[in-house]
Amino acid sequence: MARPNYGPQAKQRTQRLLEDLLNYANHDWDAEIRSPIRTHWQSDRQLVVRTKLRFLVELTAQDPYADKLTPEQIREALRRLQDFMGVLEDNRPATQGSEDWHFTLKLWHRRQDLSANLQKFDHEWEQRRSLKSKQVAPSQSTRQDWADAPEITVFYGREHELATLEQWAIADKSHLMTILGMGGVGKTALAIKLAEQIQHHFEVVVWRSLRHAPAIDALLTDLIRSLASPDIPLAATFEGQLLQLLNALRDCRCLLILDNLESVLGVDDRAGELLRCVAEGRHQSCGVVTSREKPQGRLGRSLALSGLNTAAGAMLLQDFGLATTPTTPTLVARYAGNPLALQIAAPTILELFKGSTERFLDYGAVVFGDISDLLDQQFQRLSPIEKQVMTALAVHREAVTLNALQPDLLPAVSHAMLLTTIDSLYRRSLIEQATDGGDDLGFTQQSVVMEYVTQRLVNQVVDELMNLNVEQMNHQFLLDAQAKDYIQATQNRLVLQPIAELLIQQLGNREKVRQGLNQYLAQLKSKEQTSGYAAGNLLNLLWSMGVDLSELDFSHLAIWKVYLQGMQLHRVNFRQADLSKSVFTQISGDILSVVFNPEGNGLATGIDRTIVIWQIANSQQCFSLQGHTAWVTALGYSPDGQWLASGSHDHSVRLWNMQTQECHKILQGHTSWVQAIAYNSTGDLLASGGNDKEIRIWRSQTGECVQILRGHNSRIFSLAFQPQSSMLFSSSSDRMVKTFGIQNRDSAYTHLRLR
């Protein structure tokens, strides 16, 4: 059962409703209610009321307090008067209906003594609340981990939203709440204010920003270590780690806030599993999520956040130096009360229109329809160096210090000029300040600004490529080879890929795009572009599109900020090229075998004598397995993913424990190369075959060879068990596919003959 709310806001709402009812019943109410509330004094201390919930809402709308109470808040106040204060007697024959109310109020003092009754209410509430302290007592030692949560200095309005979220989190014990809304509407600020307001109800508060789309594995690991213990041994599987997170949410009352969820939605399906764990698991904690996109499925409660009301919007503008005028409500309405839009508009009104909101609204060129229009107008007024810095910050994707930013700017900018530029952008609310965890200050952009600048860069680069212009491509890198892996992945997804998609839309197909980019490369060669980012951007773009790079000539060009690891650079000419700030590829052998794990999120590859395990989400190498003395030519995962079998030209089969990363057994018996590996559907049998024309069946747990199947006349290339059966299919260079009944130790029949 949801825990009732006895906090200060619930008290304020209940006392307000009591005051309104007494004023109305005493005929001390100046305003008229369109629909009557029937009241009758049975005595000087006993009032009978018959009404509907909506009439009480109308009543509170006309009292001297800000805003009106919602039906839910009034219903809560009536219940607190009944079950907490004990002064309301419900006279309804059945209480299932929530619209019609018939009740009796029993006062402490005479009806005329309003002040005395309200003071007694206040005293009695606090007295009774002390009796409830065991149910709602806040923790006096809340452990807090705010990570990179921004400091909120401008916050107005949102009383109703805060009250609703507090009700869900504290009284209703909601496991997951999602704050939805467009960029700049104030989701992050609301989540922070909510957390600050209710944090004393929790033992642990953890804030995490998902703005840079962290890998779900890394996020889950971080949450486990933050909520449970930094020393806890992590489970080997994703499901096991979800269970560890759930246990942490059970063990103590945690408030977990995940900001900018939209960054990971659609990138990794396991993000939904993580949310489902929080929303549907049995625990005593609360998760708060902010997002521009609503997650799929019904996961907890959602609050759609709209803009500020007129009063709150006016106060925000006053904070930026704009006086409230008769046109202020029009300005707030024009931007739908979006706090970020108002913050960006304010400096424009002050600087260009001398603080006149009316002149600003009358001037058609600066009447913006949405934030994109607003940002476009604001961006056009920036100086070239300001635009350059804005673009660089957008591509960096995360906070960057001045010392790290300055060397990347082209044309070069002095330190003094950069400081002046940063100060100007900061005052315009186009950038915000952050720390790198130390003393150095870094700067970044709010998400909505970053997306606008990124899209502007994409469109400009496409135009320049179509017109064989090198200006923007040369002044700004599109992918930073030296950045963290998740930043590179974001740059590729939000910059390089959209450029490729727009080029395909305009030119018709991928082949025409390749021809156009070759022309652009020829243009760079003709201009002898020996400095700048243009050639490096072109190489990164070609590789991200999957274009064959062989025979391309990048000689004598500047190849800056290129991630060369993994690129196929066969016969690419880099003679006398400047490869500054680029990351070179690692030298490795041939990839001779490859297999996905059962979950599809990992990959095993045989590279010469080494087995390398990769994580698909971020293309990172997890670990390597070594032991074979010749090429690894066959790989196979057990159905549960706990074991990996490998076959090699050293005539052996090895079983690897994926948790310990150690070789469990070496299976010997083949007299030549092992070319094929296969587990059956239950994982208890393993088949191997190769150049000795034999198929050996092994018990996977003991390594015992239980059968040897013969029938092929040449080397065996592949093996596959039929799902949920004992039939084994094999193919060989004799152009035959055979099936074997494992129990009979014989070839059942020739299934297929290839011609």
**What are the pLDDT digits (tens) for 38-55?**
888 988 899 999 888 888
> How many C-beta neighbours within 10 Å does residue 338 have?
26
* Separation between Cα atoms, residue 276 and residue 249, nearest integer Å: 13
* Separation between Cα atoms, residue 581 and residue 540, nearest integer Å: 13
Cβ proximity of 652 and 666 under 8 Å: yes
| Tens digit of each residue's pLDDT (9 = 90 or more) over 707-722 | 888 888 888 888 999 8
pLDDT, residue 436, reads 47
* Separation between Cα atoms, residue 613 and residue 634, nearest integer Å: 14
pLDDT, residue 374, reads 63
* Separation between Cα atoms, residue 663 and residue 18, nearest integer Å: 75
**Beta 176-180 vs 286-291: how paired, if at all?**
parallel
* Separation between Cα atoms, residue 163 and residue 185, nearest integer Å: 18
| Tens digit of each residue's pLDDT (9 = 90 or more) over 84-125 | 888 998 888 765 446 788 899 999 988 888 888 888 898 888
Cβ proximity of 519 and 541 under 8 Å: no
Cβ proximity of 656 and 614 under 8 Å: no
Residue 542, H or E segment: helix 534-544
Residue 56, H or E segment: helix 53-61
Cβ proximity of 259 and 290 under 8 Å: yes
More confident residue, 596 or 62: 596
Q: How confident is the model at residue 440 (pLDDT cuts 50, 70, 90)?
A: low
What CATH topology corresponds to 384-544? Arc Repressor Mutant, subunit A (1.10.10)
Contacts of residue 27, Cβ cutoff 8 Å, sequence gap at least 6: none
Q: What is the pTM of this model?
A: 0.46
pLDDT, residue 96, reads 47
423's tokens: 């100060």
* Separation between Cα atoms, residue 516 and residue 493, nearest integer Å: 21
Instruction: Name the least confident of 294-303, 370-379, 492-501, 521-530.
Output: 370-379
Residue 107, H or E segment: none
Sequence length of the chain is 755
Residue corresponding to tokens 């130790």: 745
> How many C-beta neighbours within 10 Å does residue 43 have?
10
SS (H, E, C) 109-120: CCCCCHHHHHHH
More confident residue, 51 or 565: 51
621's tokens: 């190498």
Residue 144, H or E segment: strand 143-145
Mean pLDDT of the chain: 83
Q: How confident is the model at residue 138 (pLDDT cuts 50, 70, 90)?
A: very low
Cβ proximity of 491 and 480 under 8 Å: yes
C-alpha angle 131-136-137 in degrees, rounded to nearest 5: 85
Residue 524, H or E segment: helix 510-526
Residue 168, burial from CB neighbour count under 10 angstroms (0-12, 13-18, 19+): buried
69's tokens: 């109470």
Per-residue pLDDT at 140 exceeds 60: no
Mean pLDDT of 12-41: 80
What is the per-residue burial (b if ≥16 Cβ within 10 Å, else e) of 668-680?
Answer: eebeebbbbbbbb
Per-residue pLDDT at 242 exceeds 60: yes
CATH among 3.20.20.370, 3.50.50.60, 3.40.50.2000, 3.40.50.300 for 143-304: 3.40.50.300
pLDDT, residue 337, reads 85
| Tens digit of each residue's pLDDT (9 = 90 or more) over 387-427 | 999 999 999 988 888 888 999 898 888 989 999 999 888 76
Mean pLDDT of 463-484: 85
pLDDT, residue 746, reads 43
Q: How confident is the model at residue 751 (pLDDT cuts 50, 70, 90)?
A: very low
Contacts of residue 271, Cβ cutoff 8 Å, sequence gap at least 6: 216, 261, 264, 265, 295
Instruction: Name the least confident of 177-181, 203-207, 259-263, 579-583.
Output: 579-583
| Tens digit of each residue's pLDDT (9 = 90 or more) over 633-668 | 999 999 999 999 999 999 999 999 988 888 889 999
Instruction: Annotate 660-673 with DSSP letters as a single string.
Output: TTEEEEEEE--SS-
Q: Give the percent of the chain with pLDDT over 90.
A: 25
User: How many angstroms separate the first and last alpha carbons of the chain?
Assistant: 71
Q: How confident is the model at residue 5 (pLDDT cuts 50, 70, 90)?
A: low
In this structure, whether the domain defined by 591-753 belongs to CATH 3.40.1280.10 is answered with no
Instruction: Annotate 475-502 with DSSP letters as a single string.
Output: HS-SS-TTS-HHHHHHHIIIIIHHHHHH
Instruction: Annotate 397-456 with DSSP letters as a single string.
Output: -S-EEHHHHGGG-SS---HHHHHHHHHHHHHTTSSEEEE-SSS-EEEE--HHHHHHHHHH
* Separation between Cα atoms, residue 410 and residue 420, nearest integer Å: 17
C-alpha angle 97-300-178 in degrees, rounded to nearest 5: 115
Per-residue pLDDT at 576 exceeds 70: yes
Mean pLDDT of 464-474: 82
Per-residue pLDDT at 364 exceeds 80: no
C-alpha angle 490-464-405 in degrees, rounded to nearest 5: 45
pLDDT, residue 744, reads 46
Cβ proximity of 155 and 149 under 8 Å: no
| Tens digit of each residue's pLDDT (9 = 90 or more) over 81-92 | 988 888 998 888
